[in-house]
Amino acid sequence: MIKRTCCSCVIVLLLSFVNRAEAHPHVWVTFHSEVLYAADGSMTGVRHAWTFDDMFSAYALQGLPHAKKGQYTREELASLAQVNVNSLKEYGYFTFARADGKKLKFSDALDYWLEYKNAALTLHFTLPLKAAASAKVMQIEIYDPSIFVDFEFAKDKPVSLSGAPQCLVSYDLPHQPTAAEQARLSQLDAVPLDPSSTYGETFANKILVKCP
């Protein structure tokens, strides 16, 4: 598990009104990802389910109108879901893909909605590729370049395929930091990463799909 760190350029996930220069608690996300394929064998996108930590979920829900105490319907969470995906767009939804080594581009998120269960918010959304892609090897990485948000594969069926029966999917857990890397991570509050830094890629969650 990576030691979570904060940066001065705060990443907005659910609350667009939070100033990016303000201090903010670290955010933890546990996720499932489903890689989507068309009948012709081309990859069309990724469907995510991201569950936020209970502290951040409680923070995000502050002041949100709802009919029943401790319960939130999909309709009551709809405006929050929209704010969420609009904010995430600026960061490429923290999802990066390659087909046989060539970078792919995603369109805007579709079919997004939030659910509230066990004191945590889960964001469901689909990222369609701008153009369907065919390749023998697809690599998808989920990470925050600034390391403000910590992503972790869910323990129960973290990755699956839809529409690609002849392909095999696997995943790699994030790289565990060396002593030198851990020392750098521990200093990010005082010496934050440059906004253009891609240091977080070092600790990416990786999905690999191999097709005949």
Q: Has residue 197 been placed in a domain? A: yes
Residue 20 in any domain: the answer is no
Contact (Cβ atoms closer than 8 angstroms) between residue 99 and residue 129: no
> What pLDDT score was predicted for residue 16?
36
Question: Which amino acid, residue 14?
Answer: L
Whether 35 and 160 have beta carbons less than 8 Å apart is answered as yes
Q: What does the pLDDT read at residue 175?
A: 75
Q: Tell me the sheet residues that pair with 31.
A: 50, 153
What DSSP string describes 96-107? EEEETTEEE-B-
Closest CA to 184 of 203, 171, 165, 210: 203
pLDDT of residue 193: 67
Residue 142 is assigned to a structural domain of this protein: yes
Question: How far apart are alpha carbons 6 and 204 in whole angstroms?
Answer: 17
Residue 14 lies in a domain: no
Residue 6 forms part of a structural domain: no
Give the range of the structural domain holding residue 140, as residue numbers without chain letter.
Answer: 27-210
pLDDT of residue 158: 97
Q: What is the pLDDT of residue 190?
A: 66
The pTM assigned to this predicted structure is 0.83
The per-residue pLDDT for 195 is 62
- How far apart, in whole angstroms, are the C-alpha atoms of residue 16 and residue 181? 31
Q: What is the dihedral of CA 16, 111, 114, 206, to 10 degrees?
A: -80
Tokens of 72: 């939130």
168: in domain: yes
**Confidence check: pLDDT of 60 > 80:** yes
- Asked if residue 24 has pLDDT above 60, the reply is no
Pairing verdict, β 159-162 and 168-172: unpaired
Q: Is residue 17 part of a domain?
A: no
Residue 163 scores a pLDDT above 60: yes
Interatomic CA distance for residues 189 and 161, integer angstroms? 38
